[in-house]
Each structure stands twice: as structure tokens, then as C-alpha cells.
Amino acid sequence: MNMFSRGIRNAFRNGIRTASITVILGLSIGLCLTMLVAHKAVENKISSVKSSIGNTINISAAGIMGFQGGGNPLSQTTVDKVKTLSHVTNVSETISDELRNSDSTSRSGTTTSANTSLVSAIEAGSLGRRFGGQNTDSSSSNQSETPQLPIGGGFTPGISGYGTSDTTTVNGSTVKLTSGSQIDGNSDKAVALVGTSVASKNNLKVGSVFMAYGTSVTVTGIFDTGTTFSNNAVIFSLPTLQRLSGQTGDLTSAVVTVDSISNIDSTTAVVKKTLGDTADVTSSKTSAQTAIQPLDSVKTISLFSLIGAVIAGAVIILLTLIMVVRERKREIGVIKAIGGSNLRIMSEFMIESLTLALLGALIGLLIGVVGGQPVTKMLINNSTSQVTPTSGFPGRPRFDGTGTAPNSARLNSSFGRGFRNNGAVRNLNTIKAQVGWDILLDGFGAAILISVIGSALAAGLIAKVRPSEVMRSL
């Protein structure tokens, strides 16, 4: 009988012991695989976070964000200088405006004329009437008193209008077309994408025509971002909205993509120097670090757990083989006495340990497949619950009593990018742990590693067995 068949047969000499060792090794290898699945899933998520939010710089017109929003638009000529800077791979530009289908008069007497035939899909509600500043109780002559809540319902929110060179995102959300086709963000044509809320409210479909700024605009696509706010929007190409709204050469915001996270700080400094005090410049590096922080914790935990599980499995094999060597000391001595070499005997024991490890690996693979996703999610939830997200949200819209939203409320693209950056932290539990062939091969690799490490010391004990001593004790 050759050493392979003998080694495999020896693994099943004691059925109860074989079953016990197999189950224990299965748990150990299962933990190895589960931690390996979590480790790889987290690594992939970290790469995704770095590529999506860690390498961008947000540029907005100075003063456009926050409760004190205002200021002047960015100049297209000025932003064009950013495109030529080192490490800048792309610049997405946006101009924003508000579409209204009725004249609006503020308490100050300022009138904003209607500029579209579309009806907003969002009702004002108490918050809209509060920020809209219309129909308030002005009976009090004491201007220092706290303004009263609106008592009327005349204020109607407008529709967000975006002109952008990148029509795949709006307000920080991904644009998913439900019908129709995309538009070229750099062409000047009277076409637009409309949100599902606007389309439903105005009975629009692909091919429909609506009026905007006195021009007939054709709907080429209907999109859904997953939020009511962003679906109450119309997306034009950048040149089209600049021309129609009378903002030729102006920009509300821009998003600069840098070739690497490592170049974010230096590029941000150069952008600030280039634009001066005409723009507010912020990078997404902080958001990326905030998102990655809990992921790094999970990555570290999974790595140490993986190492610990491998060591535990190796110790199990080691103790088992030490016990087996002691039980078979006489058998080993006899084999040596009749000419069996140390290498042959060691090989038999290594094959025996490998057989046990592979049996454990089969159980471990099942545990890894079933437990990979739940364990990964549990680790993520435990880590993220200890991290307070740092919001990149620059400020909510402030209505200043003019009946229309000032620049700060015209919902430029940077307005929503805080949600996208902060969302990277909130959506970490969307990590998908997948068990592919590479994971399965790694599982069998772990079993082989465990058997080799565990049988190493036992092999040394075999080499020390002296046939003469064993034969004298017979």
C-alpha cells in the first residue's frame, strides 16, 4: 500500500475523532473564509469610495451656499483655466435657474415673471410657505418682533432647472432614464430631460413639447433619481440653459475630477489660487476619509480574525497529530525497523492531516458561503454606529422674501453633492460580500496551509522515534 492511500486510510481510523476534528476544523476554516470574504468586500468598497468621492473638488460661486446665500455667478472663462491645471482629468459645469409657471410677488413688491408652462410637482406645505415669505401676517408694526407663520397658501415652489455638461447626475443624484435617451451636455439644442414627478404632473412623455423662456422645448427623456426633490427638475445642456435664461458665460458650480486622491490637496490649493475670492472651493477628501474610516476598522478586524483562524486551525492539527504520533509510536518504530524512512512516515502523516483539513474545508466553505454577507454586514453596522457622519451638505435653500429663490436656493449641483459624499458613509451597509472561485480556492489554500503548519512539529517528533527503544519495549 503506498503512502497516499495509507495516509488517507489513517485519517479514518477513529470515526468519532475524525468527525470531531473535521467539525472543529470546519468552524476554523469557515471563520477564515468569512473573514476573507469580509476583507475583500471591504477592500473593493474602499476602492469604490476613493474612485467616486475621494478625488473630486467642488467649486461654487462665492457666497452661494448656506443661509446667507447670494453673490455673483462664476465666469466660464475663469473656470476654463482650471481645466488646464495639472492632475485635472475632467471638469463638470452647471448653471442653475428656477422655472415658474405664474408671476410671483413678494412682500417687498418684487415681481418675478412666469418663464415656463410646466407646473411644479411639489406642494408648498408649511415649510414652503415659511421660506417662500408670502401671505404672512404683516399686521404687526413692530419689525423687531418674530415674523408670524404664513396664513395663506399663495406660495408655490418652482421647478429646478439645471444646465450641465454632465447630464448623468442632477443635484448630486444619479440620473436613471426610465424612457427616452440622454442629451449631449455640450450641445445647444432646445431639448431636455424631465424628472418623473414633473412628467407625471404635466402629462409629459418622450416627444412632448413644453414652453420655457418663450421657447418650445422637446422632451427627449424622462428620468428618476429616487428622490421627490430631484425628480421635480428639468435638465438642459449647459449652453442651452445659459442662452435661454440669459446667463451666457455664467456658471453656478463646477466639479473637478483629479487623477488621484494623493493629488487632491495640492490641486485644491492651486484651484483656490486660480479662482481667488470669486469662488468657494472644497474637496471631497474629508468625505472620503470619513467614509473609509469605519471600513478600515472592519478591514483590520477581518485581517486579524483571518490570521487567528488560520493559527487556531494549525494548532488543532498540531495537537491532533502529536496525540496520534504518541499513540502510534510503536507502529512508527516497527516501520522504521523494517526499512521505512523518516520522509515516508512523515509524508503519510502529512497526507493524513491534509485529508482532515480538506474535510474541514468542505464544511468551512459552506459556512463561508452562508455567513459571509451577514458577518460582513454585522461588522459594518458595528463600525459605522460608532462614527458620526460628517456632512458635506453646504446649507439648505433660503428664501429671502422676494418670492423666488436666490442663488443659494437655485439648487446648483454642489447643493446635493454633500448628500452624495455623506451618503458614502450612510450606505456602507450596501456592501455585497460575494463568494467566487477565488474565495473557494483560497479556502482550500487555507486548509493546505493549516495542514502543513500543523504537521510540521509532529514530523519532528516522528524523526526522534528510535526503533531500538521501541523494539525493547515490545
Degrees (nearest 5) of the Cα angle 62, 393, 118? 80
- Domain boundary residue, one of 239, 255, 283: 283
Q: Which three cell numbers stand for residue 63?
A: 457666497
DSSP-derived letter for residue 213 is T
- pLDDT reading at 420 higher than 50: no
Residue 142 lies in a domain: no
Based on the fold, state whether residues 89 and 234 are members of the same structural domain.
yes
Based on the fold, state whether residues 193 and 85 are members of the same structural domain.
yes
Based on the fold, state whether residues 232 and 371 are members of the same structural domain.
no
Asked whether 284 and 111 are in contact (CB, 8 A), the reply is: no
Least confident of 272-281, 416-425, 461-470: 416-425
Residue 395 lies in a domain: no
pLDDT at 163: 94
Task: Pick 118 or 7 by higher pLDDT.
Answer: 118
Residue 440 lies in a domain: yes
Asked whether 95 and 252 are in contact (CB, 8 A), the reply is: yes
Phi, psi of 253 (to 5 degrees): -160, 170
Based on the fold, state whether residues 350 and 236 are members of the same structural domain.
no
Least confident of 39-53, 165-179, 220-234, 415-429: 415-429
What average pLDDT does range 296-322 have in this prediction? 78
Task: Pick 397 or 64 by higher pLDDT.
Answer: 64
Residue 406 lies in a domain: no
Residue 342: left if φ>0, alpha if ψ -120 to 50, beta else—which one? alpha
Based on the fold, state whether residues 221 and 330 are members of the same structural domain.
no
State the angle between helix axes of 329-337 and 342-384 in degrees (0 to 180), rounded to the nearest 10: 140
Based on the fold, state whether residues 105 and 232 are members of the same structural domain.
yes
Based on the fold, state whether residues 110 and 189 are members of the same structural domain.
yes
Which span out of 122-126, 169-173, 406-410, 422-426 was modeled with the highest average pLDDT? 169-173
Based on the fold, state whether residues 40 and 93 are members of the same structural domain.
no
Residue 8 lies in a domain: yes
pLDDT at 433: 60
- pLDDT reading at 287 higher than 90: no
- For the segment 68-98, what is each residue's pLDDT rounded down to a tens digit? 456 788 898 989 999 999 999 999 999 999 8
- For the segment 423-471, what is each residue's pLDDT rounded down to a tens digit? 444 455 556 666 667 766 776 777 777 777 767 667 666 666 676 665 6
Residue 132 lies in a domain: no
Based on the fold, state whether residues 171 and 256 are members of the same structural domain.
yes
DSSP-derived letter for residue 72 is -
What average pLDDT does range 373-399 have in this prediction? 53
- For the segment 323-371, what is each residue's pLDDT rounded down to a tens digit? 777 777 777 777 777 777 777 777 777 887 788 878 887 887 888 777 7
What average pLDDT does range 7-24 have in this prediction? 80
Asked whether 361 and 412 are in contact (CB, 8 A), the reply is: no
The rounded distance, in Å, linking the Cα atoms of 367 and 92 is: 46
* Helix (H) / strand (E) containing 164: strand 159-164
Closest CA to 411 of 393, 389, 390, 391: 393
Residue type, 128: G
List Cα–Cα distances, 446 to 11, 37, 384, in angstroms.
Answer: 19, 13, 30
Kindly give, in sequence order, each residue whose CB lies less than 8 Å from that of residue 395, ignoring residues fewer than 6 positions away. 65, 66, 67, 69, 408
Based on the fold, state whether residues 242 and 175 are members of the same structural domain.
yes
pLDDT at 349: 77
Count the neighbouring beta carbons within 10 Å of the beta carbon of residue 358.
Answer: 18
What percent of the chain is predicted at pLDDT more than 70? 69
Confidence band for 385, pLDDT divided at 50, 70 and 90: low
Asked whether 32 and 366 are in contact (CB, 8 A), the reply is: no
- pLDDT reading at 391 higher than 60: no
Based on the fold, state whether residues 168 and 203 are members of the same structural domain.
yes
The rounded distance, in Å, linking the Cα atoms of 194 and 186 is: 18
> Which residues does residue 294 pair with via DSSP β-bridges, in sequence order?
none
- Domain boundary residue, one of 283, 308, 324: 283
Confidence band for 199, pLDDT divided at 50, 70 and 90: very high
The rounded distance, in Å, linking the Cα atoms of 308 and 180 is: 54
Kindly give, in sequence order, each residue whose CB lies less than 8 Å from that of residue 110, ignoring residues fewer than 6 positions away. 402, 403
- Print the domain residue range for 268: 55-122+157-283
- pLDDT reading at 405 higher than 60: no
- Domain boundary residue, one of 248, 283, 318: 283
Alpha carbon 16 to chain centroid, angstroms: 48
The rounded distance, in Å, linking the Cα atoms of 256 and 358 is: 52
Residue type, 347: S
DSSP-derived letter for residue 135 is S
What average pLDDT does range 200-223 have in this prediction? 95
pLDDT at 188: 95
Number of structural domains found in the chain: 2
